[in-house]
Amino acid sequence: MANVCIFCSSSDHVADKYKEMGYRLGQMIAQAGHNLVYGGAVGGLMTTVAEGAHDAGGNVTGVVTDHIARHDRQSDVPDSIVTTANLAERKQVMTELADCFVAMPGGCGTLDEVFTITAAGIMGEHRKPLYLVNPDGFYDWLLQELAHMKSLRFIPAEESYRPHVVGSVEECMEAIAALKTPKGKKAATR
Contact yes or no for 147/71 (Cβ under 8 A): no
Greatest extent of the chain over all pairs of C-alpha atoms, in Å = 48
Contact yes or no for 11/44 (Cβ under 8 A): yes
d(CA 44, CA 77): 14
Residue 85 lies in a domain: yes
Residue 188 lies in a domain: no
Residue 183 lies in a domain: no
Residue 184 lies in a domain: no
Residue 27 lies in a domain: yes
Residue 35 lies in a domain: yes
- Domain residues for 40? 3-177
User: What total number of domains does the chain contain?
Assistant: 1
Q: What CATH number has the domain bearing residue 109?
A: 3.40.50.450
d(CA 129, CA 127): 6
Residue 135 lies in a domain: yes
For residue range 93-127, list pLDDT tens digits in order.
999 999 999 999 999 999 999 999 999 998 899 99
Binned average pLDDT, 10 residues per bin, the chain of 190 residues: 95 96 98 96 94 97 94 91 96 96 97 95 93 97 93 86 94 90 55
Residue 160 CB: number of other CB atoms within 10 A? 10
Give the distance from CA 86 to its chain's centroid. 18
Residue 57 lies in a domain: yes
pTM, to two decimals: 0.92
